[in-house]
Amino acid sequence: MSSPLSRRAFLGTAAASTAALALPRITLAADGFVNVYTGSDSNISDFWTNVILPGFKSVNADARVRVVDAGDGAGLRAMADRAMAALGTDSDPQVDLFEAYTPDQTEGSIDAGLWVNFATAGIDNMEKVNPAAKQTDFDLPYRGSQVLLAYDASKVSAEDAPKTWDEMTAWIHANPGQFIYNRPDKGGSGGNFVRRAIHEANGRDPQKFTLDNYSDAYAEETLPGAWDILNGLAPSLYEGGSYSSGNTQSIQLLAQGVVTMTPVWSDQVLQSITMGVLPENTGLVQLQDLALCGGFSRITIPTNAANLEVAKQLAAYVLSEEVQSKIITELGGFPGVTWDSVDAALREKYADVIPASIPTFPGGDWDAAINDRWYRNVAPGIARG
């Protein structure tokens, strides 16, 4: 996108694809497909296409479901805006289920009644959902992932791997240039590392932060302590305070032996090890004083969906033991249901890595505030000017 030519080409393709989109849109509403929108990476949309949808045939053999890639969160927001605009009219929002979206990202959508209330919708398997993962009644946590520290086991032994925040801080200072985390807005591994620093600065109490208690004043009171902690780490980070531009880039630096330790998503690092991007002996460790935050991906269903009943059936099927077990084996993720609700053999096998609890950090206004303040207070650094 950096030369005028490619920009022109881009405009051309954009115009062409807009035109192409306009055509099927006319027929889309009537074609009987149930539209599942996702903004996640391709491993997730592949999981839906190759695992969930074929299995769903056993529940509803007639339903035809299509997975649509919205690109990213902004793409999903646009789809939710469309559903919101169609609410109360006869228009078909042309989306039946969001694979990972939270109601707070569309302002006023809960009050307007845009989302199915899972507490009262009478969906099967609802009772299996892990209570610790619940956020609102309007989203359905169906898969989870936690952030871990991954390290090069040829340089750090398992006994020396840090198990608390203080041990980790000491390790980073003792090994300058060997640790990096990514910019908090560019990927959850660095994002949740920053949030762990916020927990550290606030008595390691995740309860202090909820979706509703954001205010500028409260942020001003709770966040600066974390910036002090992170600025204290900066001189000992890679290149004296460099931050990679995404989850993948951090893993790449670890794979190239540039850094020795970095925060990673559990599912992503397991996949990297399977694919050989990272060596077999890559060490993984979770902080024991308070785990690095994780997150759950949450299904939401608009109440004005054209195929509301099928969407609900699909949500119930995703919570079934069958799919939830495959989330562990095929995705390397955590189930959205309690561990009693997955295959007993799996429960046994993964006993060691089952987290007692995955602390989460609320999104909403906190997200924008934390990320932007990090850019202003931590990214510029002190030594680097």
Q: Which residues bind other proteins (CB under 8 A)?
A: 1-7, 11, 73-74, 183, 185, 238-239, 242-245, 249, 252-253, 256-258, 367-368, 371-372, 375-376, 379-381
Q: Round the CA-based radius of gyration of the chain to a whole number and report it.
A: 22
Of 244 and 286, the one with the shorter C-beta distance to other proteins is 244
Q: For residues 49 and 82, is the Cβ–Cβ distance under 8 A?
A: no
Of 18 and 120, the one with the shorter C-beta distance to other proteins is 18
Instruction: Pick the closest to residue 338 from 322, 353, 321 (CA basis).
Output: 321
At 36, is the secondary structure helix, strand, or coil? strand
Of 6 and 164, the one with the shorter C-beta distance to other proteins is 6
**Residue 278 C-alpha from the chain's centroid:** 21
At closest approach, how far in Å is the CB of 3 from other proteins? 5
At closest approach, how far in Å is the CB of 78 from other proteins? 11
Which pair of tokens denotes residue 119?
A: 């507490």
Of 240 and 355, the one with the shorter C-beta distance to other proteins is 240
Residues 345 and 349: their CA atoms lie apart, in Å, by: 6
Residues 73 and 153: their CA atoms lie apart, in Å, by: 35
At closest approach, how far in Å is the CB of 250 from other proteins? 12
At closest approach, how far in Å is the CB of 270 from other proteins? 22
Other C-beta atoms lying within 10 Å of the C-beta of residue 255 = 17
Q: For residues 134 and 72, is the Cβ–Cβ distance under 8 A?
A: no
Residues constituting the chain: 385
At closest approach, how far in Å is the CB of 369 from other proteins? 9
